Amino acid sequence: MVNVAVLGYGTVGSGVVEVLEGNNELIAGRIGEDIHVKYILDLRDFPGDPFEDKIVHDVNVIMEDPEVSVVCEVMGGVGAAFEFTKRALGAGKSVCTSNKELVAKHGAELLALAKANGCNYLFEASVGGGIPVIRPFVRSLTAEKIVRIAGILNGTTNYILTKMDREGADLEPVLKKAQEKGYAERNPEADVEGHDACRKIAILSSLMTGHRVDSESISTKGITQITSEDFAFARAAGYTIRLLGVTKLLEDERLSVMVAPFFVPVDHPLASVIDVFNAIMITGNMVGDTMYYGRGAGKLPTASAVVSDVVDAVMSEGKSVPGGWDEETVEVVPVEETKSRFFVRVSADSVDAFRQVFEDVEEVDASVEGQVGFVTGKILTKDLEEKTAALGNSVLGVIRVF
Ligand code: HSE
């Protein structure tokens, strides 16, 4: 019998208990081990809850109980969650987490600590919610040099962009709906400003390189500037808009990483990913493109991924699960030095000035009153910024083209 403790009885924590207890027999049938929740740590009481008797308020009860071999950290944040994770790993208890902020910030240290103590730090749920993406990455693409990762990594913003595109909805009311559905972060700025996607692409990039990719070094732009006009131009030019995390190994072997809204061609597989779904396209030098798809947020999909790690921890007892990265920090190419095509939306009265500054452009006619759109050729971000700065207020919007 394996005893598990769950730290945090919020949306994901209650889901973890539900999956572990609800699918207990099925899991036992598969791996020959009976996995049970022994404790749930939370500051609150839950009178009437079916698992009320498992609630504890003192983390020492868990850390000092030798019967607990696996801990699920689903509290979030980098304060108490970091301390409790270190204590659990230090005591030889494997930790399974959905806490992308903690994995992105202190992953290297926690992975090393796990290794030193003969246990594992597992984080399948930290990227792509319920999508198996970490495990295929570290266990299946092992023969590959990964050259690109491109992903829709945030369910809340994908849900918002889908509703803006299909229903002409505004950001605020749709964000509220995403919060009600349990998709959004406690502070939804982390979703709409791209910080959540940034942590996830930092984790994937760290796995890709085997070294720490600092989320602070990743150029990050969210979706708050996207308007219905942008969607009108995107449609007219054969694109839709998606918030992507993109990591590329450049020809000179340097790494470019960014989070930004992109014009994605409508016939690209990432364009058909709608609502809360996420998708991650991973490209290897031998296999080419592979893609992983599923629900990127929500109680049970995320909990299912945490429980898949619990199962992995139990099956890998005494062995290190492959994958991870060390403390050496990768230098990310400054975004100004990266090249891209761009969509630029300008006021109709500035078209002549625009054409003088940008030579290699294609015009997009979306019949938006008083506005004209252009798609540039491939140019340096630095040049794009200089040119648009020269045009001042007549530039109404700029979006990268994938
Ligand atoms: N707020 C996140 C999202 C939750 O919307 O994708 C899953 O990490």
Instruction: Write out pLDDT tens, residues 209-234.
Output: 999 999 999 999 999 999 999 999 99
* Mutation to probe ligand 1, out of 154, 174, 278 (largest number of atoms < 8 A from CB): 154
Strands (E) in 252-287, as ranges, are 255-265, 277-284
Residue 200 half-sphere exposure, CB side, CA atoms within 13 Å?
33
What is the DSSP annotation of 103-153? HHHHHHHHHHHHHHTT--EE-GGGSSTTS--HHIIIIISTT--EEEEEEE-
Question: pLDDT at residue 235 above 90?
Answer: yes
- The structure tokens 């992995």 sit at 312
CA of 360 to the centre of ligand 1 (A): 38
CA triple 297-151-210, angle to 5 deg: 100
Query: Looking at the predicted structure, is the pLDDT value of residue 132 above 90?
Result: yes
The answer to whether the CB of 276 falls within 8 A of the CB of 182 is no
Positions annotated as catalytic residues are: 200
On whether the CB atoms of residues 293 and 131 are closer than 8 A, the answer is: yes
Cβ of 99 below 6 Å from ligand 1: no
Q: Check if 305 has its Cβ closer than 6 Å to any atom of ligand 1.
A: no
What percent of the chain is modeled with pLDDT above 90? 99
Rounded CA separation 177/357 (Å): 42
> Which residue has 């930790």 as its token pair?
95
The pTM assigned to this predicted structure is 0.97
Is the pLDDT assigned to residue 359 strictly greater than 90? Answer: no
Q: Which of 117, 8, 112, 129 is nearest to 59 (CA)?
A: 8
Question: What is the C-alpha to C-alpha distance for residues 304 and 313, in angstroms, rounded to an integer?
Answer: 14
